[in-house]
């Protein structure tokens, strides 16, 4: 789970043939690390069962600390990015909103 990892900067999930897709659209959701694991799990599950049907790649920040980054120390929140094509950005955004609402 992202909130427990400090060995890599991001967790990444890709669909098959993702490299063939043009990904010029991106959605981001920011979460406190107390919430990020549950949201990440929902997004990964949605990608696997095609609820996020036109999402090709998703990334989630971890607890990885980069001393060259801005800030005095490790962060308490992270970001999940969902990548899609420019043509599907509205569709994926609506699907993502539906998934993230379940976390509220």
Residue 77: the pLDDT is 83
Mean pLDDT of 74-93: 86
pLDDT value at 5 more than 60: yes
Return d(Cα 94, Cα 92) in angstroms, integer: 5
How far apart are the C-alpha atoms of 3 and 26, rounded to whole Å? 22
- Quick one: pLDDT at residue 20? 65
Does domain 2-101 bear CATH number 3.30.310.80?
no
Under the banding of pLDDT at 50, 70 and 90, the label for residue 15 is: confident
Q: Which residue has the higher pLDDT, 75 or 79?
A: 79
Boundaries of every domain in the chain = 2-101
Question: Percent of the chain beyond pLDDT 70?
Answer: 82
Taking every pair of Cα atoms in the chain, the longest distance, rounded to a whole number of angstroms, is 40
State the average pLDDT over residues 14-33: 79
pLDDT score of 104: 45
């Amino acid at each position: 789970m992202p909130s427990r990892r400090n060995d890599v900067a991001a967790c990444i999930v890709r669909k098959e043939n993702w490299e063939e897709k043009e990904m010029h659209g991106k959605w981001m959701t920011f979460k406190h690390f107390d919430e990020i694991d549950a949201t990440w799990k929902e997004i990964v599950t949605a990608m696997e069962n095609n609820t996020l049907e036109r999402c090709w790649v998703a990334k989630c920040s971890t607890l990885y600390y980069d001393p060259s980054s801005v800030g005095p120390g490790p962060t308490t929140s992270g970001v999940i990015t969902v990548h899609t094509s420019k043509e599907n950005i509205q569709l994926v955004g609506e699907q993502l909103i539906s998934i993230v609402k379940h976390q509220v």
